[in-house]
């Protein structure tokens, strides 16, 4: 059942008034593949624009907090935690990003985790595009979620 449509088939924001508040956690995962030279520059922290991963981490946190402003049917949420982690894969010249978002409330944080993830990866692209316009963002997905009426999910 699509919950963002009313009985007349019109888009609406889901009413969460009667839902119980619970701890909600979501983790989204994705990666960006780049040239060996670009990967080594990011890993060494010598990109001309500065600390690529540090800026991408802050961008992801900021994006998670603004998800309700970006995605029309998302509720504005009070987030209790946002964590952005990067893993460097030198064999594939890939940076893997994990975005974990938490709240205690009446609706989940899946969209906040996915928004944080995509913004983090787009920030890496933006900061490195002068070196490598062929970077590719791959495999973005919800890895897991917990809390709420629908229960736990694991990809």
Q: Which residues are catalytic?
A: 126
At a CB cut-off of 8 Å and minimum separation 6, what does 110 contact? 26, 28, 142, 145
* Cβ 124 vs Cβ 29: under 8 Å: no
Cβ atoms of 152 and 144 within 8 Å: the answer is yes
Backbone angles phi, psi at 105, to 5 degrees: -170, -160
């Amino acid at each position: 059942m699509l919950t963002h449509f009313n009985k007349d088939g019109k888009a609406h924001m889901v009413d969460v008034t009667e839902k119980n508040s619970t701890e909600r956690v979501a983790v989204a995962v994705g990666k960006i593949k780049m040239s060996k030279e670009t990967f080594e520059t990011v890993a060494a922290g010598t990109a001309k624009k500065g600390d690529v991963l540090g800026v991408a981490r802050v961008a992801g946190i900021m994006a998670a907090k603004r998800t309700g402003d970006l995605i029309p049917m998302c509720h504005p949420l009070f987030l209790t935690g946002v964590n952005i982690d990067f893993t460097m894969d030198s064999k594939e010249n890939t940076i893997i990003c994990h975005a974990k978002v938490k709240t205690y409330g009446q609706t989940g944080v899946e969209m906040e985790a996915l928004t944080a993830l995509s913004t983090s990866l787009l920030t890496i692209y933006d900061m490195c595009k002068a070196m490598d316009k062929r970077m590719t963002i791959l495999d973005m997905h919800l890895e897991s979620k917990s809390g709420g009426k629908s229960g736990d999910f694991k990809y």
